[in-house]
Amino acid sequence: MKLLEKFKIGDLELKNRIAMAPMTRSRANANGEVTDLTVKYYVQRASAGLLITEGVNISEQAIGSPFTPGIFTTSQIEAWKKVTNAVHDAEGLIFAQLWHTGRVGHSIDKNGNLPVSASVIAIQGQTHFTSQGPKEYETPRELTTEEVKQVIQDYKQAAINAKEAGFDGVELHGAFGYLPNQFLVDGANKRNDEFGGSIENRSRFVIEVMQALVDVFGADRVGIKLSPSIPYNGMIDSDPNALFSYLISELNKLPLAYLQLMQPMFPIDAFPTWPTDVLTTFGHLFNKTIMVNGGYDRDKGEEEVENGRAHLVSYGVAFLANPDLPKRFELNAELNAPDKNSMYGGGEKGYTDYPFLAQ
């Protein structure tokens, strides 16, 4: 099985081509520190070729949801060291996904501060999970040009902190409607400075962040996740083909570890010109490692690797419910069903209590 073959990214040797996709689990404490339960969670899944953490807040401003971990305080860094040390002891590799939620948040969980974004445009038709239950989205505050440059430095500092915490690399969460995505799409970015307007300007924020991350970690240690055809969180662009073709061509000039592309996961019938298969549309623009994500099972993932369209496949919910997913794929064994009621928040239930095959 090609999914189970070793694969090299620079000097990192992955034991297989199966990655664990980043998934918010909301199990950090009130100070944004991961706990011993988090250590157990990642070690249980260390048979992945690569573990990618849940989104990790790069700063206090970046926080969007309660009980999500950060990497901007000394105590948060020290807590993550327990995770990376344990994963390495289990012969695993782990990247931290760096996260700034932008307008996908609420002042209730931000000490009364409004969320920030590329422009003063609120998310419509959705509610946000807060510590006080679902709430309508607020209109965000627009970041000034100087503040945008500071956020880029916040990403760089988060990468420095991730390196200190022992991570093997970092991934920029540039997908699913969070801050980098808000700068990219013209439905959320109406700026008239160097970070708005043309496709080149709207891409500038992501490219400068990626360069900053590479400056910290070096070649083959920085990845990025993009979702060109996912309208969730108000990510509507008039021409995603042109936007992401430009962006990915520019990213291809950097010595990146990988590009993780999310396939459409929501109906896009209302957007007939949007790409329905992101690998077909954008894969040829990136000549380094490509990881694909979005609703893949064992056979579909194997097919993508076998036909050479992707080098790695990341699995989210399947890995959540099956800590020994690579072994189950090897044996073509039955998978545990995920408990959707325990995905976010809580304790061990739905987090570290899913059975292994041997159990």
Residues with a catalytic annotation lie at 178
DSSP 318-359: HHHH-TTHHHHHHHTPPPPPP-GGGSSSSSSTTTT-PPPTT-
Report the distance separating Cα 187 and Cα 358, nearest Å.
49
CA-closest candidate to residue 309, choices 259, 241, 256 = 259
Rounded Cα gap, residues 267 and 232, in angstroms: 10
User: Which residues touch 239 (CB under 8 Å, ≥6 apart)?
Assistant: 273
The residues near 281 (Cβ < 8 Å, ≥ 6 apart) are 228, 241, 244, 245, 275
Answer whether 53's CB lies under 8 Å from 94's CB: yes
Cβ pair 143, 155 in contact under 8 A: no
The C-alpha atoms of residue 336 and residue 56 are separated, in whole angstroms, by 27
Q: Quickly tell me which residue has 């969980």 as its tokens.
A: 109
Tell me the three state secondary structure of residue 299.
Answer: helix
Rounded (10°) CA dihedral 179, 184, 189, 192: 120
Backbone angles phi, psi at 284, to 5 degrees: -70, -10
